[in-house]
């Protein structure tokens, strides 16, 4: 049986609970339930009185959450669905209004570590990177079928690989077909000057992998679609809490709430994890939390 410390370590839990929970008998939708850490925390914080809808597009990860949280209560519902279809989930459950939506836009530890789905450059795995294994666009397709310009643009914009995007795209195209994560790492390595590889604090493939993952899962489009749907289902006073890990994600979220008269942005400046949390969980270091209240 998996122990607590084996699970994905949920980020900024206290901050989310303090900011998002407005009533303990409310209905809260965890749009990115992953292994269920935040769902569990919400349920326990509300002393078992809340209803929690745990949604994730990755059925493998959601199965872990379901097993982990099953014995807590029937008041936690699990739903395999993309958050951009959140309207269908809510209607499917026969609900009209809810009190909070949570989005945690990172990648789960399960996806990164052990599933052979190509999210990580630390293991040699097939190039997949789909959060939803039923969708058709894989990392292999992006890497092998996109034009060099399309690849360069994605790596530049989504990977924020400003100086070397073109060189990386050129190296990828030159080495096609690329079938595994290690082959992709090698193509990136060949594109970067030795000095640059040594200079970087993070692994030199991090940004390109991130860019391809964002493209495969259409992450930015999906966030916008989901945001547009939330207000239809929020009770007045209900809140949306979003953890972002990428400056473009944060920009989308910030602009959305700033320019929407139906919301009051409760966090004019984003909240960040404490130094202690970053020390204990370095993956939280680039996290920002923004919270908005639906004012009708």
- Residues belonging to the binding site are 36-38, 56, 83, 104, 111
Distance CA 236, CA 245 (A): 28
118 part of the interface to ligand SAM, by CB under 6 A: no
227 part of the interface to ligand SAM, by CB under 6 A: no
Per-residue string for binding with ligand SAM, 265-294, x by CB under 6 A? ------------------------------
CB 250 within 8 A of CB 288: yes
66 part of the interface to ligand SAM, by CB under 6 A: no
Comparison of 19 and 32: residue with beta carbon closer to ligand SAM: 32
What's the distance, CA 81 to chain centroid? 14
Strands (E), 67-158: 76-80, 98-104
29 part of the interface to ligand SAM, by CB under 6 A: no
CA nearest 172: which of 192, 198, 157, 158?
Answer: 192
269-275, long-range: CB < 8 A, 24+ apart: 271/12, 271/15, 271/19, 273/11, 273/12, 273/15
Distance CA 119, CA 129 (A): 5
Site for ligand SAM in 76-95 (CB under 6 A): 82-84
222 part of the interface to ligand SAM, by CB under 6 A: yes
Please identify which residue in 36, 159, 238, 273 interacts with ligand SAM, judged by CB under 6 A.
Answer: 36
Comparison of 57 and 184: residue with beta carbon closer to ligand SAM: 57
Annotated binding site for S-adenosyl-L-methionine: 36-38, 56, 83, 104, 111
Choose the stretch contacting ligand SAM; rule: CB under 6 A; options: 18-26, 102-110, 142-150, 189-197: 102-110
Please identify which residue in 99, 104, 125, 249 interacts with ligand SAM, judged by CB under 6 A.
Answer: 104
Distance CA 120, CA 178 (A): 15
Q: What is the DSSP letter of 254?
A: H
What's the distance, CA 30 to chain centroid? 12
Comparison of 61 and 292: residue with beta carbon closer to ligand SAM: 61
Distance CA 179, CA 144 (A): 9
Please identify which residue in 58, 125, 277, 293 interacts with ligand SAM, judged by CB under 6 A.
Answer: 58
Distance CA 248, CA 253 (A): 9
Min dist CB 97 to ligand SAM, Å, is 21
Q: What is the DSSP letter of 75?
A: T
Comparison of 108 and 207: residue with beta carbon closer to ligand SAM: 108
Q: How many residues does the chain have?
A: 296
34 part of the interface to ligand SAM, by CB under 6 A: yes
Per-residue string for binding with ligand SAM, 150-179, x by CB under 6 A? ------------------------------
Choose the stretch contacting ligand SAM; rule: CB under 6 A; options: 52-60, 144-152, 165-173, 263-271: 52-60
CA nearest 191: which of 238, 160, 152, 154?
Answer: 152
Distance CA 254, CA 263 (A): 11
Enumerate binding residues for ligand SAM (CB under 6 A).
Answer: 8, 10, 31-32, 34-38, 55-58, 61, 82-84, 104, 106-108, 131, 217, 222
């Amino acid at each position: 049986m998996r122990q607590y410390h084996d699970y994905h370590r949920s980020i900024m839990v206290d901050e989310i609970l303090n900011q998002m929970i407005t009533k303990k008998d409310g209905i809260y939708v965890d749009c990115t339930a992953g292994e269920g850490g935040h769902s569990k925390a919400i349920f326990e914080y509300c002393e078992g009185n809340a209803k929690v809808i745990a949604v994730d597009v990755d059925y493998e990860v959601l199965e872990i959450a379901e097993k982990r949280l099953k014995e807590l209560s029937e008041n936690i519902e699990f739903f395999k669905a993309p958050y951009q279809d959140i309207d269908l989930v809510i209607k499917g459950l026969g609900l009209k209004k809810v009190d909070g939506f949570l989005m945690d836009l990172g990648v789960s530890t399960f996806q990164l570590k052990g599933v052979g789905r190509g999210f990580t450059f630390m293991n040699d795995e097939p190039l997949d990177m789909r959060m939803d294994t039923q969708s058709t666009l894989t990392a292999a397709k992006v890497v092998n079928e996109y034009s060099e310009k399309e690849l360069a643009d994605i790596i530049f914009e989504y990977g924020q690989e400003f100086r070397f995007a073109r060189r990386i795209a050129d190296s990828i195209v030159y080495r096609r077909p690329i079938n595994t994560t290690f082959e992709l790492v090698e193509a990136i390595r060949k594109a970067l000057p030795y000095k640059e590889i040594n200079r970087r604090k993070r692994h030199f493939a991090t940004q390109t992998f991130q860019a391809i993952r964002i493209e495969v899962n259409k992450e930015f489009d999906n966030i916008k679609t989901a945001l547009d749907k939330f207000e239809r289902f929020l009770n007045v006073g209900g809140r949306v809490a979003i953890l972002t890990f990428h400056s473009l994600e944060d920009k989308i979220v910030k602009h959305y709430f700033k320019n929407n008269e139906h919301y009051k942005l409760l966090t004019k400046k984003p909240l960040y994890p404490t130094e202690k949390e970053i020390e204990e969980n370095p993956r939280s270091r680039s996290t920002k939390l923004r919270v908005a209240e639906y004012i009708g």
